[in-house]
Amino acid sequence: MRKRICIISLCSIISFTLFSFLAHAEPFGWKWNSSKISNGKLILNINGDYVSSSYNDKVQSAISAWNGSGAHVTLTGTGFSSSYVDMTSVSSSTWNSNGWGSSVNAWTQPRRIDGTACATNYSNNNCGTGDTINYAAIYLNEGLVPSTSAKREAVLKHEMGHAIGLGHSSYINGTIMEAALQYGYNITTFDAQQVNSIYP
Ligand SMILES: [Zn+2]
């Protein structure tokens, strides 16, 4: 498993005021490799040791929310050496020098099993159907932390949704995968169904 910090274009909770009208949430199309799937359920070892105090009180609640959502996924908190989803807080200076966008709260970078990063244009992702994922990094912008506790937790749930395999969606009953989290902060039945369309 390869672990490295990377600089790629953005996936985000950027505050777009305009975005295309999508009919519904869209799984990226890729799947985690079969070693992460047990009895049809996706098991993701996730590490939050490098999450700052801005978010670290929300890591477990976000994990628990996914585990209780009805989605066929179990997020398991583990140490860095055994994780394959790593969450890392990034200083605003580093964030900005990386060109990740000062209006972006967070983003998630999945990687194929060969280590290559997926493109993060979510309307045309090059880790699509047939691709196999073996690692994802979640980056959190210390320069733009939501002021409310509920939204901080929502940011983590949203990014975990990307790591599971969901792209952005427009408003459907407040889906957690709406790009700007304008309509809801909870994982909905719809979100769980989208996960279960990938991992039935
Ligand atoms: Zn997003």
Question: How do residues 38-53 score in pLDDT, each as one tens digit?
Answer: 998 999 999 999 999 9
- Residue 140 Cα to ligand 1 middle (Å): 12
> In angstroms, rounded to a whole number, what is the distance separating the alpha carbons of residues 67 and 73?
6
- Residue 37 Cα to ligand 1 middle (Å): 23
- Residue 25 Cα to ligand 1 middle (Å): 11
**Residue 170's pLDDT is what?**
78
| pLDDT of 91 over the 80 cut | yes
| pLDDT of 6 over the 70 cut | no
Helix 189-198 to helix 149-164 angle (10° resolution) is: 20
Q: Which spans in the chain are helix H? A: 59-67, 92-97, 149-164, 189-198
- Residue 185 Cα to ligand 1 middle (Å): 13
**Residue 186's pLDDT is what?**
96
* Tally: H helices and E strands in the chain: 4, 7
- Residue 12 Cα to ligand 1 middle (Å): 4
- pTM score, whole prediction: 0.86
